[in-house]
């Protein structure tokens, strides 16, 4: 099958449909500009159809034996394994991911499906004591009903499945809106995998659309009780505001400005390897990427020389080439924004140890240092291949610099003393941080999420149960209760 022909549609109530909106989303290959698909956007009415289909299908699914539900995820896992090569090519074509990146994304997607199998059996009820004689308190875990999922362009297959699979496993139905730049990998492919795995119609619906067509209909609609959003903090703030106004629970996984801290006793060669990966994986289009590399001044010169030397070895080019490290950014707007940011930062006084060129959507790596302490670039997220090397004097200054940002998603500390690293890590205002490793990690059973502008709530493991189920108290009075009147 041709994914970009057969799956470039809306998927509502088990049917592949052409949208009825007033314009088309054109899906381009970001490396060579090839037109992959043209998709007419979904309307407000079609969003309603998707949610109503989910609402109709959910009760029977929620009542289905969880051992039966998990069979769908076992089959979905086998489908991904059988189609790994086709999925890899789709990731390369639609989002410019390298082969290494595609392998990483597909591996994690499989791990999250394995966890979804277990999540189907995870919800547990409780019986709690009561001060009233003869009373039994039962606390049930129930599906929330319908979940709206909005996924990003950088890891579209993984980050759609990451919310969709647990929500379904826990007995919910889902309406998924993928990013406009990755409508097939983030939407149609996910729907096709579950369709072929035998998921009943209506439980997973995909609407490919944009706020310009539907406004806030996807969030405001009365059916979904939870909205799971992954994307920028700017959009996340809006999602949270609309959810609050409509008494919906929002799970927000937002941007980051992670710091990788290299202390004076670190293994420099290893720290360099970790820093290069942390900054430049998937062209730096990763929320956990290490925007800032903080290095103790006593080792700054040696570290920087090694870091720059390794960055210069990174191959920029065709993501389909197995030797390529840096492929294209997702679109021309992002490429222009990153290039402009480098130019402005250098004009403001920073030193470019490596100055990357821009050709189309290919942006070669840049390494900047000598930034002023109040440089705006130090506090923002850079979704591109730009590394900022910042020296510090001692742990206290490293902690202060690391925390001087509105974000708090991930981070790393490199040191020869693990417990020293833990002490520093505990002082960093971030949801996740790693000792002697990269800043980019996601594991299915470990709580994933950020602090400050990096999000609200957590995903993965038991956090999925909290996110996609609700608690209900049912009390039983055995015998007769006494009443005051």
Active site residues: 253, 287
Distance CA 385, CA 281 (A): 8
The two three-digit tokens of residue 335, written as one number: 């490429």
The two three-digit tokens of residue 74, written as one number: 């076992």
CA torsion, points 460, 461, 463, 464, in degrees to nearest 10? 70
Phi/psi at 343 (nearest 5 deg)? -60, -45
The candidate with the shortest Cα–Cα distance to 287, out of 445, 440, 446, is: 440
Give kind and range of the element (H or E) at residue 386.
strand 386-392
What residue ranges in 235-317 does DSSP mark as E strands?
Answer: 249-253, 259-262, 292-296
The candidate with the shortest Cα–Cα distance to 386, out of 396, 394, 375, 399, is: 375
Give kind and range of the element (H or E) at residue 474.
strand 469-477
DSSP 282: G
Instruction: Look at residue 470 and give its three-state secondary structure.
Output: strand
Phi/psi at 445 (nearest 5 deg)? -105, 0
Measured in residues, the chain has a length of: 485
DSSP 380: S
**Three-class DSSP labels, 124-190:** CCEEECCCCCCEEEEEEEEECCEEEEECCCCCHHHHHHHHHHHHHHCCCEEEEECCCCCCHHHHHHH
The two three-digit tokens of residue 449, written as one number: 């999420």
Looking from the CA of 465 toward its CB, the CA atoms found within 13 Å total: 18
| Pairing assessment for the beta strands 366-369 and 386-392 based on DSSP bridges | parallel
For the chain, the distance separating the N- and C-terminal CA atoms, rounded to the nearest angstrom, is 72
Burial of 314 from C-beta contacts in 10 A (0-12 / 13-18 / 19+):
middle
For residues 160-186, b (16+ Cβ closer than 10 Å) or e, as one string? bbbbbbbbbbbbbbbbbbbbbbbbbbb
Radius of gyration of the chain (CA): 24
Looking from the CA of 285 toward its CB, the CA atoms found within 13 Å total: 26
């Amino acid at each position: 099958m041709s994914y970009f022909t057969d799956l470039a549609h809306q998927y509502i109530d088990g049917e592949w449909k052409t949208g009825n909106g007033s314009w088309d989303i054109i899906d381009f290959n970001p490396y060579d500009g090839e037109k992959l698909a043209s998709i007419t956007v979904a309307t407000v009415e079609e969003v309603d159809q998707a949610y109503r289909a989910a609402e109709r299908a959910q009760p029977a699914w929620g009542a289905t034996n969880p051992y039966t539900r998990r069979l769908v995820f076992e089959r979905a896992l086998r489908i991904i394994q059988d189609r790994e090569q086709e999925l890899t090519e789709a990731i390369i074509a639609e989002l410019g991911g390298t082969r290494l990146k595609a392998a990483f994304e597909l591996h994690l997607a499989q791990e999250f499906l394995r966890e979804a199998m277990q999540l189907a059996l995870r919800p547990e009820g409780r019986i709690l004591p009561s001060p009233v004689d003869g009373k039994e308190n039962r606390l049930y875990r129930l599906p929330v009903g319908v979940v709206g999922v909005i996924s990003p362009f950088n890891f579209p297959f993984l980050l759609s499945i990451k919310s969709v699979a647990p929500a379904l496993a826990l007995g919910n139905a889902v309406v998924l809106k993928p990013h406009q730049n990755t409508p097939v990998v983030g939407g149609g492919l996910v729907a096709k995998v579950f369709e072929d795995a035998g998921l009943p119609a209506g439980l997973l619906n995909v609407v490919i659309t944009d706020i310009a067509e539907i406004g806030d209909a996807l969030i405001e609609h009365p059916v979904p009780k939870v909205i799971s959003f992954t994307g920028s903090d700017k959009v996340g703030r809006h999602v949270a505001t609309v959810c609050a106004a409509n008494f919906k629970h929002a799970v927000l996984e937002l941007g980051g400005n992670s710091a990788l801290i290299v202390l004076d006793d670190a293994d420099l060669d290893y720290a360099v390897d970790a820093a290069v990966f942390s900054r430049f994986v998937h062209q730096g289009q990763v929320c956990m990427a290490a925007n800032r590399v903080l290095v103790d001044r006593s080792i700054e010169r040696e570290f920087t020389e090694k870091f720059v030397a390794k960055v210069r070895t990174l191959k920029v080019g065709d993501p389909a080439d197995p030797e390529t490290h840096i492929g294209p950014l997702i679109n021309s707007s992002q490429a222009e924004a990153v290039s402009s940011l480098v130019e402005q930062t250098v004009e403001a006084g920073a030193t470019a140890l490596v100055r990357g060129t821009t050709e189309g959507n290919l942006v070669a790596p840049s390494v900047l240092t000598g930034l002023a302490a109040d440089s705006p670039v130090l506090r923002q997220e850079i979704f591109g291949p730009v590394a900022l090397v910042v020296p510090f004097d001692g742990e206290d200054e490293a902690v202060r610099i690391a925390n001087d940002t509105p974000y708090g998603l991930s981070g790393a500390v490199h040191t020869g003393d693990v417990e020293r690293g833990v002490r520093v890590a505990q002082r960093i205002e971030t949801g996740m941080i790693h000792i002697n490793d990269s800043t980019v990690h996601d594991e299915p059973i470990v709580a994933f999420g950020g602090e400050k502008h990096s999000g609200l709530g957590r995903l993965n493991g038991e956090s999925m149960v909290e996110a996609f189920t609700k608690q209900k108290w049912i009390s039983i009075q055995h015998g007769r209760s006494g009443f005051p009147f």
